[in-house]
């Protein structure tokens, strides 16, 4: 779903759905883009990135750090991909597991920030094995 603000973020309204496929089973990220500052959008296409929601961070060197939540048994947490500046390797870049041991699918919502020294801090919601939940972070040393 897309939200639109016409008053620099004071109020927001429904702007339309970017992607929907009633026949789709599972959660893969869909790719859409705009070449005109959001006036119009491309047709969407599914990526090979299994998980949702995701977050993209532009790194200082131009690459893109993508994180996405994973919510299936054996991989409950989040994964990351480091993409070229153009993002053309979106479907082929290997995944880096950030966390995979949440107790349930009640996990994820990753958000990342590049630290001054070039490392990346990834924060996410986590469901611990003692049934508590909380916000946790992991630092990716080599990006």
* Confidence (pTM): 0.81
Nearest to 90 by CA among 28, 34, 40: 28
* Rg of the chain over all Cα atoms, to the nearest angstrom: 16
State both tokens at 37.
């500052």
pLDDT at residue 125 greater than cutoff 90: yes
Condensed to tens digits (0 to 9), the pLDDT of residues 45-66 reads 888 998 888 899 999 999 999 9
State both tokens at 142.
């080599």
What is the domain partition of the chain in residue ranges? 1-48, 51-143
Phi, psi of 101 (to 5 degrees): -125, 30
Length, in residues, of the chain: 143
Condensed to tens digits (0 to 9), the pLDDT of residues 84-112 reads 999 999 999 999 999 999 999 988 899 99
Q: DSSP class of residue 101?
A: B
At 29 the pLDDT is: 85
Q: Report the largest interatomic distance among the alpha carbons of the chain, rounded to a whole angstrom.
A: 48
Q: Residue 32, by phi and psi: left (phi above 0), alpha (psi -120 to 50) or beta?
A: beta
Who's near 97: CB < 8 A, 6+ residues apart? 75, 77, 79
């Amino acid at each position: 779903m897309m939200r639109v603000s016409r008053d620099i973020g004071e109020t927001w309204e429904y702007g339309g759905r970017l992607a929907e496929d009633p026949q789709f089973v599972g959660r893969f990220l869909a790719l859409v883009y705009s070449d005109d500052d959001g006036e119009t959008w491309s047709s969407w296409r599914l990526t090979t990135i299994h998980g949702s929601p995701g977050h993209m961070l532009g790194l200082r060197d131009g690459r893109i750090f993508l994180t996405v939540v994973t919510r299936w048994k054996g991989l409950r947490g989040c994964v990351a991909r480091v993409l070229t500046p153009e993002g053309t390797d979106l479907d082929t870049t290997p995944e880096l597991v950030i966390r995979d041991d949440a107790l349930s699918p009640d996990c994820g919502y990753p958000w990342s920030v590049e630290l001054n020294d070039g490392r990346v801090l990834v924060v996410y919601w986590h469901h611990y094995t003692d049934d508590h939940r909380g916000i946790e972070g992991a630092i990716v040393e080599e990006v």
